[in-house]
Every structure is written in structure tokens, then in C-alpha cells.
Amino acid sequence: MKKFAKMAVAAAIAGMAMIAQATIVIDDFSVDQGTDGLGDILLRDTTINGLGKYSSVNGATTSIIGGQRDLYVEKIGGGSGGIESIVESSMYKYSTPSGAAGTAFLKWDGMNEAVTGTVFNGSQATFLGTLSAGGLGGHNFKLGGNAFKINVQEADIGFDFAMTVFSSGGRSTTLVLASVAHTGGLPDSSPILFADFEGATDVGGSVLGSGAFRFTSAFGAADLTDVGALLAQVNFTGGIGTVDLSINEVITVPEPGSLALVGLAMLGLGAVRRRKAMAK
């Protein structure tokens, strides 16, 4: 799409639990976010008013865990231009213009909470209020793996990223992870251990040895054998300005203990220089 000539973000998030030769896909982004009559749905927020844009799409459970993906994007500060998010060509894409700041959510909870093919206006609270914490029905992610792994294809600066796992009984854990700069090529050994999501209740939050910041709900930590929903957020702290990033995949890996955790780089989130052509 010509209008995306300036968009440096291309992300494909796929979560897999390796069970024999089979895989469990969280999202391979082979299902676009739908169409609005003009083409693939683009979520674009240009105003700083506490409201963002969101949409939902249904797809085969072999491509989207639970059969539904919900996206949200919001401009939260700075400069002119809009914060953009789209799924097309088997990629999740997120972009911010120079001087601006935004945030985005990806939600998988297996529930039809919005009309497919329609873009809605709403606050983060409204969007997150549609989350069904048990919508995935207690998925066991430990059947073949014990960690998630995120590979970033491209990001022009470092940024923070949060992942939340929800389990029954109001239990949930959020890990907030930060990138470090990379100048080409990204580390391949950056698992997000299931064990980091589990453990003691910690509402106030604390920094783990891996460098991740972890906090739980008051009802306890998530159980990775009982996953009811997943939520990911780009720029969780809101402190990162302009960022063009590309996430290649999120998968589970069977033996993360043999892979090195590198402090704040545990996600494998990296920064590369923004190409001048994209900055114009």
C-alpha cells in the first residue's frame, strides 16, 4: 500500500507450543484485520483526547488462538500525524510519526466483542473492558513448551513491551520488558519463561533477575496450564516517543533453560536505524 511507504513496522506474532510435530498458534497474522470497503482496515489515531481506535476480526483457530483477534491503537502525546496499526500480508504493523508517541494492544480471548470490519472509537478502559479473561477456556501452554520467545525483525529505537497472561479465578501476571539497541541482526536466545509469569502474588511489582518487571493481580499469579486470555502492549510505560518496530514472531520454546537471558534484552527487542526514506 502506497500510504504505508513511510511505515517501518512489520510484525508477525505467532505463539506455538511444540507438541510432538504439531503447533498451537497464537497468531500467525495470515488473517488480515478485515476490510472497510476501502481496503484493509487501518487503525489510525491522530488526536490526543484519551480515545483510540479498535477493531476485531474472526479467523480459523489454526491461525488465531480462540478464533478472534482484537487490536487497539491510541496517540498519547507529541507531534503531528497519526499512530497507525494494521494487519496485512501476514504482518502486524505499528508506526508512530516523528515526535509523536502512542500505544497499541493486541488481545486474544476467543470472544466476539466487536463487529468485524468496523472501526470503533473508545478509551483504553473501554477496550480492555471487553476482555474475557476465560475466553480461551483454560489453554495448557505447558504441554510442549515452557517459555515464549519474541524475535524482532526491525525497530528504529528501543521500546518497552508488556505481555499479560490471564487465568481463572481472576489471576493474572504482567511482565514488562525493555529493548536494547541493536545495529543489525537480533539475538535468537531471548525466552520469556513461563516460570516468570507464575509464582507468588505481587501486586506492587518487582524486578526479576531477567530484568523484567513483574506484577500480578490481587487474586494471584497466572497459571500457564490454565490460560484464559493473552494481552500484549507496545509502549506500556508511555515513555517512548517515535518508534518504528517490527516483531517477527512470538513462540513457545521447549528448553529455554539452555538459552541465555540478557537482562533487559530478554525479549530480543532491538533497535535499528530508521531508513531515511521512511523518515521523510
Q: Which three cell numbers stand for residue 76?
A: 498519547
Compute how many other C-beta atoms are within 10 angstroms of the C-beta atom of residue 146: 18
**Residue bearing the bigger pLDDT, 1 or 126:** 126
pLDDT band at 9, cuts 50/70/90? very low
Mean pLDDT (the chain) is 74
**Residue bearing the bigger pLDDT, 210 or 136:** 136
State the residue for C-alpha cell 516460570: 195
Half-sphere exposure of 128 (CA within 13 A, CB side): 14
Report the predicted TM-score, pTM, of the whole model to 2 decimal places.
0.79
Note whether 105 and 130 are within 8 A (CB).
Answer: no
pLDDT of residue 238: 74
- Beta strands at 206-207 and 100-108: parallel, antiparallel or unpaired: unpaired
Note whether 254 and 19 are within 8 A (CB).
Answer: no
Domain count, the chain: 1
- Beta-ladder partners of 139: 227
Q: Domain for residue 178, yes or no?
A: yes
Alpha-carbon separation of residue 236 from 56, 57, 177, 184 (angstroms): 21, 23, 9, 24
Q: Domain for residue 3, yes or no?
A: no
> Residue 259 is part of which domain span?
8-279
**Residue bearing the bigger pLDDT, 248 or 254:** 254
Summarised one tens digit per residue, pLDDT across range 151-204 is 555 555 566 788 999 999 999 999 988 765 444 444 444 578 889 999 999 999
3-state SS, 16-30, equals CCCECCECCCCECCC
pLDDT of residue 96: 82
Q: Domain for residue 69, yes or no?
A: yes
Q: Domain for residue 1, yes or no?
A: no
Q: Domain for residue 51, yes or no?
A: yes
Q: Which three cell numbers stand for residue 260?
A: 541465555
**Residue bearing the bigger pLDDT, 167 or 115:** 167
Burial of 201 (0-12, 13-18, 19+ CB in 10 A): middle
Q: Domain for residue 42, yes or no?
A: yes
Q: Domain for residue 2, yes or no?
A: no
Highest mean pLDDT among 26-30, 90-94, 195-199, 253-257: 195-199
Residue 190: what residue type? S
